[in-house]
Amino acid sequence: MALADKESERNFQNIATNGIHLRCVVEGDGPLAVMVHGWPESWYSWRNQIGPVRDIGYRVVVPEVRGYGESDAPEALESYDMENMIGDVLGLIDHFGEKNAVLIGHDWGAPIVWNTTALHPDRVRAVAAMSVPYSPRGKISSIALWRQLYPNRFFYQLYFQEAGVAEAELEADIRTALRKIYYSGSGDAPNGLFDAGKSPDARMLDDIASPDVLPPWITEADLDYYTAQFEKSGFRGPLNRYRNQDRDWDNLTGLTDARITRPACFIAGSRDAVLRFVPGVDLVENMKRWVDDLRACEIIEGAGHWIQQERPQEVNAVVLKFLATLDG
């Protein structure tokens, strides 16, 4: 399927929100459901969820997050802090004249929807997050924690901190970079993307294999589409999200001991390395302490980080069952 055909299948709108414009897929009628993607992805990572959620009576809105694809990409690093990400979501809800919305997020999209729910529960009807469990504001920032936990080994979020370094590596050959990242972070790879025991001054992709054949959940045409998206936007904006973790900790004091009080759902793959980022801590069990109404919690055996793409039927079954529990 050609790239133009993929675009023509969807209804795109350029929506003003929080001082910028986001290109969004908008499909269906009914209560609002906003799907927020992570790194390094696009609206397209939700391609298997848009139709099923739309078809049960939702208006589905899937933005290209600021800095991605054809959405605006502000220059300032602080434009990518969590306050702005939350503001973008709230602005989308406002644009459609809704009091609240169901929020669904994956990877960085998960903290965005979790934190929006924690800080603005009146604007969230329910929340479904994938791959990244909820936790309130810690005693130190996330990036400070990674520096403590990974002082003498490579960790990708630390590698991303110096502006321009990761951009140069990833943009030198975008298609190969994405091919390696998607494969090695999936449940199909023998060793995970974040498990490499290499020195902290290494580059990210040098020792990561590029598969001869892609896993069945992602085609060469899918990879073409993602590549075209990053050829438009580059990686600076997406990587700046990682560079705001100290700022987020300083600014979002309202997340200290903040609970998730809205109906919630969590889905992840058993082989998702994110669940093991903090050695000795079960992040899913920790999440349960802070979520008052966790109606679904599914760990899908053998799946990796790209859960809604790797196992769309299983993810959709959990999400639709969860949505069926909501009133109205």
Q: How many CB atoms lie within 10 A of CB 281?
A: 12
Q: Is 106 among the residues known to form the active site?
A: no
Mean pLDDT by 10 residues, the chain (328 residues): 63 97 98 98 97 98 98 97 98 98 98 98 98 97 95 92 97 97 93 67 88 95 97 97 98 97 98 93 97 98 97 98 89
User: Are the beta carbons of 6 and 42 closer than 8 angstroms?
Assistant: no
- Domains, in order of start, for the chain: 3-324 (3.40.50.1820)
User: Which is the catalytic residue, given 72, 107, 222, 272?
Assistant: 107
What phi and psi values does residue 14 have, to the nearest 5 degrees?
Answer: -95, 105
**Can you tell me whether residue 295 is helix, strand or coil?**
strand
As a whole number of angstroms, the distance between CA 328 and CA 323 comes to 10
As a whole number of angstroms, the distance between CA 298 and CA 316 comes to 12
Q: What is the pLDDT of residue 1?
A: 42
Q: Is 107 among the residues known to form the active site?
A: yes
Across the beta sheet with 101-106, what order do the strands follow?
Answer: 12-17, 20-27, 59-63, 32-36, 101-106, 124-130, 264-269, 294-300
Q: What is the pLDDT of residue 192?
A: 61
**Can you tell me whether residue 69 is helix, strand or coil?**
coil
Q: What is the pLDDT of residue 87?
A: 98
Confidence (pTM): 0.96
